Amino acid sequence: MKILFITSGSIGDAIISSGILAHLLDTYPEALFTIAGGPAAVTVFEAFPKLDRIITVVKKTAQPALD
């Protein structure tokens, strides 16, 4: 089984959501996890024991509207 865990871009929110990730690991110990989040947030999960892949999501800046 594979689980995609999408976290926030901020470190604080990522730390808070790590409890959910721990619960998923306890519930599905055979699963491999892909974790997606902002550059600062994904560093929190680099040592996660069943980590298969990390996807760093970089937001683009808003482009001005063309008239």
3-48 pLDDT, tens digit each: 999 988 888 888 898 899 999 999 999 999 999 999 988 888 888 8
The answer to whether the pTM exceeds 0.85 is no
pLDDT of residue 59: 80
SS (H, E, C) the chain: CEEEEECCCCHHHHHHHHHHHHHHHHHCCCCEEEEEECHHHHHHHCCCCCEEEEEECCCCCCCCCCC
pLDDT higher than 70, residue 67: no
pLDDT given at position 53? 94
pLDDT of the residue at 62: 73
pLDDT of 60 strictly over 90: no
**How is the chain split into domains, by residue range?**
2-56
Which amino acid, residue 22? A
